[in-house]
């Protein structure tokens, strides 16, 4: 891949996170996970969670450690209907999925401290995920939610999302 093609893909990816409207985003603004998760984590210095039936993962910044920011900001998304990302707020001492494989492969040594900082939460998540799948809440055909993780929806629309909200929050 030539340098021009790489920059074009980067610009296209960066373009997807520059959406500030409160309406349905056009296709050109749709997130490409896991790439967008890595970009958000690095650009904004925050932790990103992706909860999906295809695989749960955590994204940390690639090139600086957890000591850089005193307060760690976290943004979490649930991928539903194999097409939509819903922003959710995780409360309390919530569990964290394992770090993204690309992050593990490409992070520098300083960034490795993120995984150490959250190792307890990550290990508890792995332990629960290793248990019987019957323990999970099936939100729809594409999303399983671990009951030990308390989720509060930050944004809702449509009947499917409302049903999801009710299933997760017990409303």
Provide DSSP, 51-82. E-TT--EEE--SSS-GGG-SS--EEEEEEETT
Co-location of 66 and 120 in the same domain? yes
Give me the number of domains the chain comprises: 2
Instruction: Give the pLDDT confidence of 47-72 residue by residue, as tens digits.
Output: 999 988 778 899 999 999 999 988 89
Co-location of 96 and 58 in the same domain? yes
pTM over 0.75? The answer is no
pLDDT greater than 80 at residue 16: no
pLDDT greater than 50 at residue 141: no
Co-location of 38 and 114 in the same domain? yes
Co-location of 59 and 129 in the same domain? yes
Structural domain including 162 reads: 32-169
Co-location of 12 and 79 in the same domain? no
Residues in the chain: 171
Which range has the worst mean pLDDT, 57-66, 80-89, 115-124?
80-89
d(CA 108, CA 87): 28
């Amino acid at each position: 891949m030539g340098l021009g093609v790489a920059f074009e893909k980067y610009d296209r990816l960066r373009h997807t996170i520059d959406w500030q409207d409160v309406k349905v985003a056009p296709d050109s603004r749709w997130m490409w996970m896991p790439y967008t998760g890595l970009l958000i984590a690095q650009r904004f210095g925050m932790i990103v969670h992706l909860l999906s039936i295809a695989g749960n993962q955590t994204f940390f910044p690639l090139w600086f450690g957890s000591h850089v920011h005193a307060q760690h900001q976290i943004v979490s998304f649930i991928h539903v209907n194999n097409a939509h990302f819903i922003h959710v707020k995780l409360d309390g001492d919530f569990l964290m999925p394992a770090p993204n494989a690309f992050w593990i492969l490409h992070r520098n040594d300083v960034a490795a401290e993120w995984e150490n900082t959250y190792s307890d939460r990550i290990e508890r998540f792995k332990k629960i995920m290793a248990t019987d799948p019957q323990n999970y809440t099936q939100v729809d055909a594409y999303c399983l939610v671990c009951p030990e993780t308390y989720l509060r929806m930050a944004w809702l629309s449509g009947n499917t999302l409302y049903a999801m909200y009710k299933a997760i929050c017990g409303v």
